[in-house]
Amino acid sequence: MNDYQRIERAIAWIEEHWREQPSVEAMAGAIGLSSSRFHRLFRRWAGITPKRLVEFLTATHARKQLIAQTPLLDTALDSGLSGPGRLHDLMVTVDGATPGQIARNGQGLDLVWGLHEGPFGHCLIAESPRGVCLLDFVAEDSRLQVAAKIAQRWPQAALTEAPERTRATFDRILASLRGEATPPKAAVLGSNFQIRVWEALLRIPPGRMISYGELASAIGAPGASRAVGTAVGANPVPLLIPCHRVLRQTGDFGQYSGGRLRKRAILLWEQAEAPSS
């Protein structure tokens, strides 16, 4: 059995047994490897640890149960967790929201938003108490488009238009692109693999560009360029998490949520503004 077959077998076993919240030792034993070798092999091939995969599968199931209005205790127990406390910790870690907020589609979550004109057009920013949860490019003064974009993620959240509060956040994001400040905190929902990709994007210096293959290697998942590209495309806060710094291996600019021309403009602006290395 080669390494790929071992990982394929491990993933199939985890998908069948995740409700048991298996230990690394149990997962390794299922495919006949030592714990340390299994952990290294799995992370190299899958890009995440075995434990993270179990957490993601658990959170995915729990999220569906919560949206279906299943009680917290029942959701926790049906997801293989000991109780609501474990469920709360898991959902905050994986989704950045409490079980109650997920169940209510954001009801009880207070978001402030603002629309700002910047070097790359009009930019929408929405913030929760935990950080920036949405950043997107919109048509000038398009309130309907703004409402639709926020409602798509948090349909029941309480929205307050407060550009005077989000302006400082927007200015700090631009300063981070120039290498003059650290970016503000992001509060985004994503799988563990997506979070790993987004964290790696934040480590790319201003004015630098890398390929999808190089990004895959940076997270310990060489050969996972396509999966990395999908995670880059799912970035809910472009500019803040600088997905514009990733190009195809050929040097082509590739796709961008704000459009290919906007991506080119951002890169040129950033290279002109960023400090020389």
E strand or H helix that includes residue 133: strand 131-137
pLDDT at 140: 65
Q: Are residues 21 and 77 in the same domain?
A: yes
Q: Is residue 184 part of a domain?
A: no
pLDDT at 98: 81
- Taking the whole predicted model, whether its pTM rises above 0.95 is answered as no
Point out the catalytic residue in the list 231, 243, 266, 267. 243
Task: List the chain pLDDT tens, one digit each, 277 residues.
Answer: 788 788 888 989 999 999 999 999 999 999 999 999 999 888 877 667 899 889 888 988 998 898 888 999 999 999 999 999 999 988 877 776 788 877 776 666 788 999 898 898 889 999 988 899 889 888 765 666 777 777 777 777 788 889 999 999 999 999 999 889 999 999 887 777 888 899 999 999 888 899 999 999 888 888 788 888 888 988 989 999 999 999 876 556 667 777 888 888 888 888 888 766 4
- DSSP-derived 3-state class of residue 52: helix
Residues 201, 240: Cα–Cα separation, whole Å: 10
Which tokens sit at 46? 């899958």
Q: Are residues 217 and 197 in the same domain?
A: yes
Range of 160's domain? Answer: 110-177
Q: Are residues 132 and 200 in the same domain?
A: no
Q: Is residue 99 part of a domain?
A: yes
pLDDT at 102: 78
Cβ neighbors of 232 (< 8 A, separation 6 or more) are: 197, 201, 212, 215, 243, 246
Q: Which letter does DSSP use for residue 117 in this model?
A: E
Angle 160-106-98 (CA atoms, 0-180°, nearest 5)? 125
Q: Are residues 9 and 96 in the same domain?
A: yes
Q: Are residues 151 and 215 in the same domain?
A: no
Q: Is residue 220 part of a domain?
A: yes
Number of domains composing the chain: 3
Whichever domain contains 157, its CATH number is 3.30.160.70
Concerning whether 123 is annotated as a catalytic residue, the answer is no
Whichever domain contains 264, its CATH number is 1.10.10.10
pLDDT at 13: 94
pLDDT at 27: 95
Which residue among 69, 84, 103 closes a domain? Answer: 103
Which residue among 50, 76, 103 closes a domain? Answer: 103
